[in-house]
């Protein structure tokens, strides 16, 4: 039944030229429709207007009842953003979430937990969500400052109300999201507890493994054996296993508070250990040859001395040791911060080989195979030079040889920092050119469980993307 309903929904919505992508996420991929609370539908459109929005909602309201009448009496359209449930009174609930491209990008930046989960599902129409806008792996900052963070969950649990958002159209083509709260009944309260446990643990798994995937119970408790003791509670709160109306709310709430306290203590300890091993990478000051041509092994000096504010910004960061590449532009930058530093050739900029000094148009003309390879998503080596993977190998050697010098600050180059960024967010290094690294900005990284992690807010990270 679910497959037939989804097929009909795609048939209805795909006729709209404004719709770019349609994806079914979450429990709507379950095979048994009686075991799910709703069918989650993510629609990405080119332009969001009031007329278009109402048209899509009305199309779904008019879904032929022959597709659901066997199991349900009514069709209910939930057009809010959030975990509200309306699966009662024999309702088939369609949870419809519509974003335009800009709204989707904003949601990716502000709600990485949700968007990473959604990115695991293949679209039923149009491009996949992850192909419309990159969704980077979880960082420690996400657990404190993103939507649906653990602090958000604790606040809503304590106040026994759920936050959700709805569109408010100011005019035909202008809108904003309004945040609201809804008080919840006992069953909804229990379902929310289950939601918190499930996603809090899964998000920890994604962070610790540096992967975004569906985790089996075995994988979860291999990564987080300390949480095995809450497995019985999660089963008790699962509406597909138990009749939630028959549960003793006081007992359930007591057990759940133990989970909250345990999770909070676990995360605080994790964060403390996580922040022990850190270092900074800084791109050198600008030169006259940072002019749009490929600047690798040419060795220009920097344009001007650093300002007192720039010097203070870098020198006030407490580190044990300083490194620089062997290039003049990096060394003459670090000299203004400290006289005690170590040169390391593995921090050198990428070797552009015969492309050195060319601009992009000249590269296309002289070496078209390089640009062709980029368009195909390949990490092409420059003629008689390096590719990004070569830089990655050099940087890995540098890190391994100097791990005992942590915390340190290294003055280096754009491609080296791009490689570090891609490693820390699990982004394909063949696409590292999409990042534009600012000059003289100290970017903080951690080494945790042998993985590279990034300490930067998502908004700042996405600003480095060319398409931002």
The CATH number for 372's domain is: 3.40.50.1240
pLDDT digits (tens, 9 = 90+) for 297-352: 999 999 999 999 999 999 999 999 999 999 999 999 999 999 999 999 999 999 99
pLDDT digits (tens, 9 = 90+) for 51-69: 999 999 999 999 988 888 8
Q: Choose one of 117, 136, 155: the last residue of a domain.
A: 136
pLDDT digits (tens, 9 = 90+) for 17-50: 999 999 999 865 565 666 666 899 999 999 999 9
Q: To the nearest whole percent, how much of the chain has pLDDT over 70?
A: 96
In a domain, 211, yes or no: no
Residue 300: domain span: 278-463
The CATH number for 118's domain is: 3.30.460
In a domain, 66, yes or no: yes
pLDDT digits (tens, 9 = 90+) for 394-436: 999 999 999 999 999 999 999 999 999 999 999 999 999 999 9
Asked which of 51-60, 103-112, 164-173, 451-460 is least confident by mean pLDDT, the reply is 451-460
* Banded model confidence at residue 467, pLDDT cuts 50, 70, 90: very low
* Banded model confidence at residue 72, pLDDT cuts 50, 70, 90: confident
From CA 43, how far away is CA 45, in angstroms rounded?
6
- Indicate the average pLDDT of the chain: 93
Q: Choose one of 121, 136, 151: the last residue of a domain.
A: 136
Q: What is the pLDDT of residue 17?
A: 96
In a domain, 288, yes or no: yes
Q: Choose one of 115, 136, 157: the last residue of a domain.
A: 136
Q: What is the pLDDT of residue 239?
A: 82
pTM: 0.89
Q: What is the pLDDT of residue 126?
A: 97
- Written as six digits, the tokens of 122 are 């293949």
Could you tell me if 39 and 94 are in contact, meaning their C-beta atoms sit under 8 angstroms apart?
A: yes
- Which residue, among 66, 56, 78, 46, has the nearest Cα to 12 in the 3D structure? 56
From CA 72, how far away is CA 147, in angstroms rounded?
33
In a domain, 358, yes or no: yes
- State the total domains in the chain: 2
| Mean pLDDT value across residues 193-207 | 95
In a domain, 459, yes or no: yes
Kind of pairing between the strands at 443-448 and 175-183: unpaired
- Written as six digits, the tokens of 245 are 């109306």
In a domain, 7, yes or no: yes
In a domain, 247, yes or no: no
In a domain, 206, yes or no: no
Q: What is the pLDDT of residue 42?
A: 98
């Amino acid at each position: 039944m679910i497959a037939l309903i989804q097929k009909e929904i795609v048939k209805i919505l795909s006729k709209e030229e404004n719709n770019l992508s349609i994806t079914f996420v979450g429990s709507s991929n379950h095979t048994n429709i009686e075991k799910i609370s709703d069918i989650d539908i993510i629609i990405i459109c080119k332009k969001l207007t009031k007329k278009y929005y109402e048209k899509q909602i009305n199309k779904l309201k008019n879904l032929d009842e022959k597709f659901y009448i066997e199991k349900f009496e009514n069709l209910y359209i939930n057009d809010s953003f959030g975990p509200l449930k309306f699966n009662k009174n024999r309702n088939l609930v369609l949870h419809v979430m519509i974003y335009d491209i800009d709204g989707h990008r904003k949601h990716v930046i502000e709600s990485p937990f949700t968007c990473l989960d959604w990115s695991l599902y293949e679209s039923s129409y149009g491009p996949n969500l992850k192909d419309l806008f990159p969704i980077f792996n979880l960082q420690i900052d996400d657990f404190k400052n993103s939507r649906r963070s653990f602090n958000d969950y604790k606040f809503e649990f304590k106040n026994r109300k759920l936050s959700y958002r709805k569109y408010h159209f100011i005019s035909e083509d202008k809108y904003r999201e309004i945040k609201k709260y809804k008080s919840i009944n006992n069953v909804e309260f229990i379902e929310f507890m289950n939601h918190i446990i499930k996603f809090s643990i899964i998000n920890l798994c994604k962070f610790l493994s540096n992967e975004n995937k569906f985790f089996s119970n075995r994988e979860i408790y291999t990564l987080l054996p300390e949480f095995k003791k809450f497995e019985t509670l999660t089963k008790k709160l699962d509406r597909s296993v138990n009749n939630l109306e028959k549960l003793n709310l006081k007992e359930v709430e007591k057990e759940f508070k133990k989970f909250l306290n345990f999770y909070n203590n676990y995360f605080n300890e994790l964060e403390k250990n996580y922040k022990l091993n850190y270092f900074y990478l800084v791109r050198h000051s600008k030169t006259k040859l940072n002019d749009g041509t490929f600047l690798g092994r040419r060795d220009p000096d920097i344009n001007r001395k650093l300002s007192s504010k720039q010097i203070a910004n870098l020198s006030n960061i407490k580190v044990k040791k300083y490194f620089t590449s062997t290039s003049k532009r990096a060394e003459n930058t670090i000299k203004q911060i400290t006289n005690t530093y170590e040169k390391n050739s593995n921090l050198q900029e990428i070797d552009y080989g015969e492309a050195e000094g060319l601009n992009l148009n000249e590269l296309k003309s002289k070496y078209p195979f390089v640009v062709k390879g980029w368009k195909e998503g390949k990490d092409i080596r420059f003629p008689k030079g390096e590719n990004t993977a070569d830089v990655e190998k050099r940087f890995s050697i540098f890190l391994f040889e100097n791990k005992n010098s942590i915390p340190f600050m290294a003055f280096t180059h754009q491609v080296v920092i791009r490689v570090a960024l891609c490693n820390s967010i699990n982004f394909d290094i063949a696409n590292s050119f999409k990042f534009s690294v600012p000059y003289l900005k100290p970017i903080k990284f951690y080494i945790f469980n042998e993985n590279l992690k990034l300490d930067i807010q998502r908004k700042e990270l996405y600003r480095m993307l060319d398409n931002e």
